[in-house]
Amino acid sequence: MQADNVVRLCPLERLRQDGGPIATIYRNLGAESAERVVTRALGEVALTMAGLATQVQAHDLADLARHLRRLQLIAENLGMVSLSLVAGDARSCLASGDSTAFAAVWARLIRIAEHSLALDKALPDRSLL
């Protein structure tokens, strides 16, 4: 859509997910225990993103890279490939001191996290795995 020389971009990204880590958790722990572990980990993703958002809005860069690394590891352990990769990209932007690139990657990280967490709610009952 274009109005007054302004173009509105609506990025659509295909999420990359790997079901292997979740399947392994279910195989190793059984359905009941695995459900608790996975639910807790997804909650940690949401809480970590909320904390990161608060820090970014406050321009508080202290420990931001560490929190992004935590998000990256949790996402990796859940098979959230896209989320893990973008969190790593955000860390790289911070390390290089490129605030413009960080802003762009941050916006992408928010989109990916929202879609990843929303996708989880749309998945069928995991007890069938």
Percentage with pLDDT > 90 across the chain? 75
pLDDT the model gives residue 94: 95
pLDDT the model gives residue 129: 39
**CA contacts within 13 A on the Cβ side of 40:** 7
With bands split at pLDDT 50, 70 and 90, how would you rate the model's confidence at 55? Answer: very high
Rounded Cα–Cα distance for residues 69 and 86 (Å): 11
Give the C-alpha distances (Å, rounded to integers) separating 75 from 8, 10, 59, 97, 98.
30, 25, 24, 24, 24
Return the minimum-mean-pLDDT range out of 13-17, 40-44, 51-55, 99-103.
13-17
